[in-house]
A and B are shown apart, each in its own frame.
Chain A
Amino acid sequence: MEKISNRPVMRLQQIYSRDRHLWRLVVMILAWMVFIAITRFGKFYNLLNFQTMAAQFPEFGLMSLGVMICMITGGIDLSVVGVANLTSILMAYLLIDLTDAAGGLPGFAIPLVFVLALGIGAGLGIFNGLLVSKAHIPPILATLGSGELFTGICLAITKGNAVSKFSRTYSRTINNRIFDLIPIQLIIFVVMALLIWFLLSKTVFGTKIYMLGTSATAAKFSGLKTDRLLIKTYMISSICAALGGMIMLANYNSARADYGTVYTLQCVLIVVLGGVNPVGGKGKISGVVLAIVLLRMLETGFNRFPKISSYYISLIWGGVLILVMVLNYFTENRRFRKKIAR
Chain B
Amino acid sequence: MNTKARSMLKKLTRRNEPYIFLVLLALCLLIEIRSGQFFSSNNLVDIASAMVVPGLLAIGAFMVIVSGGIDVSFPALASLSVYATTKFLLDINYEGGVWVAILIAIAIGAVLGAFNGLFIGYFRLPALIVTLGSSSVFKGVMQGALNSKQLTTIPVGMRTWGTSSLFIARNPVSGLTSRMPVAFIAFIVVLALAYFMFRFTMFGRGIYAIGGSEASAHRAGFRVIRTKFMMYIMVGMIASLAGVIRVCMMQQMHPTNMLGMEMNIIAGVVLGGTAITGGRGTLLGCMLGTLLIVIVENSLILLGIPTSWKSVFTGALIIIGTGVSAYQVIRMNRTRSVKIKARRVA
A contact residues vs B (CB 8 Å cutoff): 78, 131, 135-138, 140-142, 144-153, 155-156, 159-160, 261, 265, 268-269, 272, 278-279, 308-309, 311-319, 321-322, 325-326, 329
Q: Which residues of B contact A135 (CB under 8 A)?
A: 323, 326-327
Would you give the 0/1 interface string for B152-182, flagging 1 where the beta carbon is closer than 8 Å to chain A?
A: 0000000000000000000000000000000
Contact B119 A138 (CB under 8 A): no
Query: In the complex, which of the residues B125, B137, B141 has the most CB atoms of chain A within 10 Å of its own CB atom?
Result: B137
Contact B136 A318 (CB under 8 A): yes
Question: What are 29 inter-chain pairs, A to B, with CB distance below 8 A?
Answer: A131-B323, A135-B323, A136-B326, A138-B277, A140-B70, A141-B270, A141-B276, A141-B318, A141-B322, A145-B267, A145-B316, A145-B318, A146-B319, A148-B267, A152-B309, A152-B314, A156-B306, A156-B308, A265-B72, A268-B128, A278-B129, A313-B140, A315-B139, A315-B141, A318-B139, A318-B140, A321-B136, A325-B119, A325-B133
Q: Which residues of B contact A308 (CB under 8 A)?
A: 144
Contact A146 B136 (CB under 8 A): no
Contact B330 A159 (CB under 8 A): no
Contact B277 A268 (CB under 8 A): no
Distance in angstroms between the alpha carbons of A152 and B72 in the assembled complex = 21
- Shortest distance in angstroms between B165's beta carbon and chain A's nearest beta carbon? 33
Distance in angstroms between the alpha carbons of A313 and B128 in the assembled complex = 20
User: How many residues of B are counted as interface, with CB atoms below 8 angstroms from the partner's CB atoms?
Assistant: 50
Q: Which residues of A contact B313 (CB under 8 A)?
A: 152
Would you give the 0/1 interface string for B297-324, flagging 1 where the beta carbon is closer than 8 Å to chain A?
A: 0000000001011111111111100110
A149 and B316 contact, Cβ closer than 8 Å, known pairs A279-B126, A322-B133, A329-B124: yes
Contact B308 A141 (CB under 8 A): no
Distance in angstroms between the alpha carbons of A142 and B134 in the assembled complex = 24
For B276, give its contact among A138, A149, A150, A329 (CB under 8 Å). Answer: A138
Query: In the complex, which of the residues B129, B135, B310 has the most CB atoms of chain A within 10 Å of its own CB atom?
Result: B129
Q: Which residues of B contact A137 (CB under 8 A)?
A: 319, 322-323, 326
Q: Which residues of A contact B306 (CB under 8 A)?
A: 156, 159
Query: In the complex, which of the residues A131, A144, A261, A268 has the most CB atoms of chain B within 10 Å of its own CB atom?
Result: A144
Contact A156 B312 (CB under 8 A): yes
Q: A136-B329, A269-B133 are in contact. List 13 more A-B contacts (CB 8 A).
A: A138-B326, A146-B319, A148-B314, A149-B318, A265-B72, A265-B132, A312-B144, A314-B139, A315-B139, A315-B144, A325-B129, A325-B133, A329-B124
- For window 6-54 of B, CB contacts with A under 8 Å fall at none
Would you give the 0/1 interface string for B266-310, flagging 1 where the beta carbon is closer than 8 Å to chain A?
A: 110010000011000000000000000000000000000010111
Distance in angstroms between the alpha carbons of A130 and B72 in the assembled complex = 26
A318 and B330 contact, Cβ closer than 8 Å, known pairs A146-B319, A149-B316: no
Q: Which residues of A contact B145 (CB under 8 A)?
A: 312, 315
Distance in angstroms between the alpha carbons of A236 and B270 in the assembled complex = 27
- The DSSP consensus for interface residues of chain A is helix
Q: Which residues of B contact A146 (CB under 8 A)?
A: 315, 319
Contact B319 A314 (CB under 8 A): no
Contact B318 A329 (CB under 8 A): no
Contact B323 A269 (CB under 8 A): no
Q: Which residues of B contact A312 (CB under 8 A)?
A: 140, 144-145
Contact B315 A151 (CB under 8 A): yes
Q: Which residues of A contact B70 (CB under 8 A)?
A: 140
Contact A261 B133 (CB under 8 A): no
Contact A315 B137 (CB under 8 A): yes
A316 and B140 contact, Cβ closer than 8 Å, known pairs A138-B326, A141-B267, A269-B132: yes
Q: Which residues of B contact A315 (CB under 8 A)?
A: 136-137, 139-141, 144-145
A261 and B277 contact, Cβ closer than 8 Å, known pairs A131-B319, A153-B312: no
For A140, give its contact among B137, B276, B308 (CB under 8 Å). Answer: B276
A321 and B129 contact, Cβ closer than 8 Å, known pairs A141-B318, A156-B308: yes
Closest A-chain residue to B73, C-beta based? A318
Across the A-B interface, the 4 shortest Cβ-Cβ residue pairs: A315-B140, A318-B136, A149-B315, A152-B311
Distance in angstroms between the alpha carbons of A278 and B126 in the assembled complex = 8
**Counting CB contacts under 8 A, is B252 at the interface?**
no
Query: In the complex, which of the residues A145, A149, A153 has the most CB atoms of chain B within 10 Å of its own CB atom?
Result: A145
Q: Which residues of B contact A160 (CB under 8 A)?
A: 308
Q: Which residues of A contact B316 (CB under 8 A)?
A: 145, 149
Distance in angstroms between the alpha carbons of A148 and B323 in the assembled complex = 15
Query: In the complex, which of the residues A137, A312, A325 has the most CB atoms of chain B within 10 Å of its own CB atom?
Result: A137
- Shortest distance in angstroms between B285's beta carbon and chain A's nearest beta carbon? 15
- Shortest distance in angstroms between B336's beta carbon and chain A's nearest beta carbon? 16
Contact A159 B136 (CB under 8 A): no
Contact B140 A149 (CB under 8 A): no
Would you give the 0/1 interface string for B250-268, flagging 1 where the beta carbon is closer than 8 Å to chain A?
A: 0000000000100100110
